[in-house]
Amino acid sequence: MSDFTVVGLRVVREAAACGSFSTAAENLGYTQSAVSRQIALMEQAAGRALFERHARGVRPTEAGRIVLRHAEVVLGELDNARLDIRHLAARPPGRLRVGAFSTAMAALVPRAIAEVAARDQPARIALREGVSPRLLTAVARQRLDLAVVTDPDASQAGVEIEILLDDPLLVALAPTHPLAGATRATPEMLRDQRWIAGSQEPDSTLLGAWRDAEWEPDIAFVARDWFAKIGLVSAGLGITVVPGIAVPVLPPTVALLRIDHPAAVRRTAIAHRRNDPRDAALRQSFAEALRDRAAELSAEVRHRLR
């Protein structure tokens, strides 16, 4: 029986995220045959099929989802090991290590950095983009000083959570779309639409935040990059869900409407270690800037949806 390998686990993770072996190959810079070979080796190691093959792509089996959960942990720890090696030298004073999920990096975090730079002494701010569970782990293990995360209930020992905002989930669509003139839409109004998502698995995307068990979205295109999603939307090829904090960087080639559903929000929070004296003043200053900019972004969302 084969053993699980780091390369194989990365391929499995990418294939699951893309819902396609060919797209995974493109993203990883491999040939499709190389990806198929790695998947076959990982299935041999598992002793079971990890993916269901369909005409429109692939999706993880139950065994595949188990492997994916463990792959996230293993690959996350390896990434953390690389960061630890890079930071073997003592961390100089006046440096803040900040993590955030991708759409928080679009406007919220850059604006907070600009505010801190304008009102404080020059400071080095190192950025790390990632998914919230990994960012929380990094804060808990003192690899990050502060992180902007979602799903703040999934906290870890020693980590303090401060809610920033309940960020509304919006639908982005082409200006020519029949719903473009509306300000909000119910889930029922969106059921027959073609969707653009980051994965074929709705539960792993923003679609999972508000859909119900009776509705299986028609995912026409899978794109992980936000620019690719917005490009597909602008071309009228489908609609996608975007968080409110991304609104300031969205082009005028898309229209927006609010999803009229109580679960169509994503709670966003600041995470930092309790009673950590290192660069406490700078960390507090950055947290204050995040609070200011979060309020500003909320006002911009309300204005654009008028």
Query: Which CATH number do you get for residue 67?
Result: 1.10.10.10
pLDDT band at 148 (very low <50, low <70, confident <90, very high): very high
Give pLDDT tens digits for 35-48: 999 999 999 999 99
Residue 35: domain span: 6-84
- Whether residue 39 sits in one domain with residue 148: no
| Short-list 292, 68, 88, 105, CA closest to 201 | 68
CATH code, domain carrying 213 = 3.40.190.10
Q: Which residue has the tokens 């290192």?
A: 278
**Assigned domain for 140 exists:** yes
Picking from 84, 111, 128, the residue at the C-terminal end of a domain is: 84
Is residue 291 situated within a structural domain? yes
Say whether both 152 and 285 belong to one domain.
Answer: yes
User: Does 295 lie in the same domain as 214?
Assistant: no
d(CA 150, CA 67): 24
In this predicted structure, the answer to whether residue 271 has a pLDDT above a threshold of 60 is yes
| Bridge partner residues of 266 (DSSP) | 167
Q: Which pLDDT value is given to residue 252?
A: 87
Residues 113 and 175 in one domain: no
* 64 and 210 inside one domain: no
At 85 the pLDDT is 72
Copy the structure tokens of residue 5: 């390998």
Q: Indicate if 260 and 172 belong to the same structural domain.
A: yes
Q: Domains in the chain: how many in total?
A: 3
Q: Which two tokens stand for residue 16?
A: 């699951």
Q: SS in 3 state form for 81-93? A: HHHHHHCCCCCCC
Which among 84, 101, 125 is the end of a domain?
84
CA distance 290 to 163: 11
CA 196/CA 215 separation, integer angstroms: 16
Any domain includes 1: no
135 and 93 in a single domain? The answer is yes
Average pLDDT over residues 23-41: 92
User: Which two three-digit tokens encode residue 10?
Assistant: 């990365």
- Cα–Cα–Cα angle for 213, 215, 218, rounded to 5 degrees: 135
Mean pLDDT, the chain, as a whole number? 87
> Please, are residues 199 and 242 in contact by the beta-carbon 8 Å criterion?
no
Residue 217 domain-assigned?
Answer: yes
Residue 93 forms part of a structural domain: yes
| Alpha carbon distances (Å) from 239 to 57, 92, 220, 242, 299 | 20, 46, 9, 10, 24
Percent of the chain with pLDDT over 90: 50
Kindly state the percentage of the chain with pLDDT values over 70. 93
- Report whether pLDDT(88) > 60: no
CA 187 to CA 41: how far, in whole Å?
41
**Mean pLDDT (whole number) for 187-194:** 90
Model pLDDT, residue 30 = 93
